[in-house]
Amino acid sequence: MAASDLERLYVHESVENVIPKRAFVEAFADLPIPAELVGDGEEYEETDAVVTYVPRPEFLDAGWVHCARAGYDEFDTDAYDAAGVPLTNSSGIHGATVGELAVGYMLSLARLLHVYRDHQNENEWYTPEYERPFTVENESLCVVGLGTLGEGIARRGDALGMDVVGVRRSDDPVPGVSELYDPDELHDAIAEARFVAIALPHNPATDGLFGTAEFESMREDAYLINVARGPIVDEDALVDAIDSGAIAGAALDVFETEPLPEESPLWDFEDVIISPHKGSATNRYHLDIADLVTENVDRYRSGEELRNRVA
């Protein structure tokens, strides 16, 4: 892209869905352009950039818009293309945060940390059956999707001594992954895994990808980990699979409906761990996003291609 003037960076208040909005604005103190917090109804010009969590029609008047999350499903990319306004997202910065969450899930499910905490809440001294706890070392992990999220999970699984296989379209090697499967070989890839971690984007091809057939392909002592997007998993089929013993349990950070409805059976399984879509939640997440935006401010002003451009 040609070098362009950029005079202001606007931070839409909707970013407070995931990060502290004022601390986020303060993270741009050293930018060569001013950063300002705004709400709805602002007017924008081609010399303005906007960081937002939600789409608004007026953003199409800006020079560039950044989505403060990896998923940009709610943004009309065709409209951005038609308006000639670059749209970027926040993918590529979650490898460590989400990777650690996935590893935490696996360690808890293996060593019963969640069960011990449940009994602690009842002041109960609990001793599990001898056969139940196990180590993740030497266990098999299948990571479905090997982008930033998947690589972050795979690297950490490998570091714990797990046998890691992966599913991806490219056959380029991935550090820590011993074998790669094509998406058409999904059932073969997950058949022998003790843990199956989903790290795919949500799109028409992955919607409902994990259903009854997939759970039947998994081991009866296997656990599903979903840190990607809720609609990739058919929750009714997952409930049936856990209830029937087709799989052992699951750890879920994302759901078809969020917040997860109170009446969902998923709340009631001992070997289901639920977190409220907080895989990226750390005390420096706003700085991670700010670093990405700052890089793109420099790229925009120098006429370079924007990182993570999706429209």
Catalytic residues: 229, 258, 277
CA–CA distance, 256 with 210 (Å, rounded to integer):
12
Identify the residue whose tokens are 């994302």: 254
Cα end-to-end span (Å), the chain: 13
H or E element that contains 154: helix 148-159
Both tokens of 87, joined, read: 């749209």
Give the Cβ contact number of residue 91 at 10 Å. Answer: 19
Burial of residue 208 (number of CB atoms within 10 Å: 0-12, 13-18, 19+) = middle
Q: What angle do CA 276, 278, 283 make, to 5 degrees?
A: 140
| Alpha carbon distance 38, 50 (integer Å) | 9
CB 195 within 8 A of CB 223: yes
d(Cα 153, Cα 99) in Å, to the nearest integer?
4
How far is C-alpha 217 from the geometric centre of its chain's CA atoms?
24
